[in-house]
Chain A
Amino acid sequence: EAQVTQNPRYLITVTGKKLTVTCSQNMNHEYMSWYRQDPGLGLRQIYYSMNVEVTDKGDVPEGYKVSRKEKRNFPLILESPSPNQTSLYFCASSFKIPDLGHLNYGYTFGSGTRLTVV
């Protein structure tokens, strides 16, 4: 089954304890991205990757790191989590960012990771 798999689904951690949220896709997608979703703020992009070894900042990258060593994996790393990083996180992937002539392409999202930092 074609899917984006995130782990863990739920995580409660303490301030300052490094954590990694994994994301893996089995669709050979070039593009992968991380979003966080907070009430009243919608989905905000954290980091994205156009392909292996190519990553770039989104709108809210502070406090996060990513890596793209393989096409299928795009882990999100919080080196020193803080309570303001408590949020619902989604990983997403796509064959390509939609461009002219490929208007039916969108994202496939993972099921989400609910992170609480206390």
Chain B
Amino acid sequence: RKEVEQDPGPFNVPEGATVAFNCTYSNSASQSFFWYRQDCRKEPKLLMSVYSSGNEDGRFTAQLNRASQYISLLIRDSKLSDSATYLCVVNEVAGTALIFGKGTTLSVSS
């Protein structure tokens, strides 16, 4: 069974902090990578895709390291509203399902 592994946390940080999450995947043939955000008992929502060249969306930066098979998410200047569970997601082979990590919980406090 191919796996996607994440540190479950929780990560407890103050407002304004920078926090980084890492995720590893076991299948070197994996093709597409995503970070999803899930608020308590709600549906997961796509946060951003992850490209080999790295990509940034406001305070969020995602990186992919294919050689080491890990994905990272960096959140700068954390806000209270960033408190959620962040899911690392991998598509192993085109045309098949997305594989979800179990999630990393972030709690931002004032």
Contact = CB atoms under 8 A, between A and B. Distances in A.
Interface of A: 33, 35, 40-43, 45, 48, 50, 58-59, 88, 90, 97-100, 103-112, 114
B34 interface: yes
Contacts of B95: 50, 97, 99
Interface of B: 1, 31-32, 34, 36, 41-46, 49, 51, 87, 89, 91, 94-98, 100-103
Given A88-B41, A98-B91, A111-B42, A42 B101 contact: yes
B32 A103 contact: yes
A41 B100 CA distance: 10
A98 B94 contact: yes
12 contacts: A40-B102, A41-B102, A42-B101, A42-B103, A43-B87, A98-B32, A99-B91, A105-B32, A106-B36, A106-B46, A110-B43, A114-B41
A96 to B, nearest CB: 8
Contacts of A100: 31, 94
A59 B31 CA distance: 20
B43 A112 contact: yes
B68 to A, nearest CB: 19
The 8 A-B pairs with the shortest beta carbon distances in the complex, nearest first, are: A99-B94, A98-B32, A42-B102, A109-B43, A106-B46, A43-B100, A98-B91, A104-B49
A33 B43 contact: no
A43 to B, nearest CB: 4
B73 to A, nearest CB: 15
A64 to B, nearest CB: 15
A98 B91 CA distance: 7
Contacts of B87: 42-43
Given A43-B87, A99-B32, A106 B41 contact: no
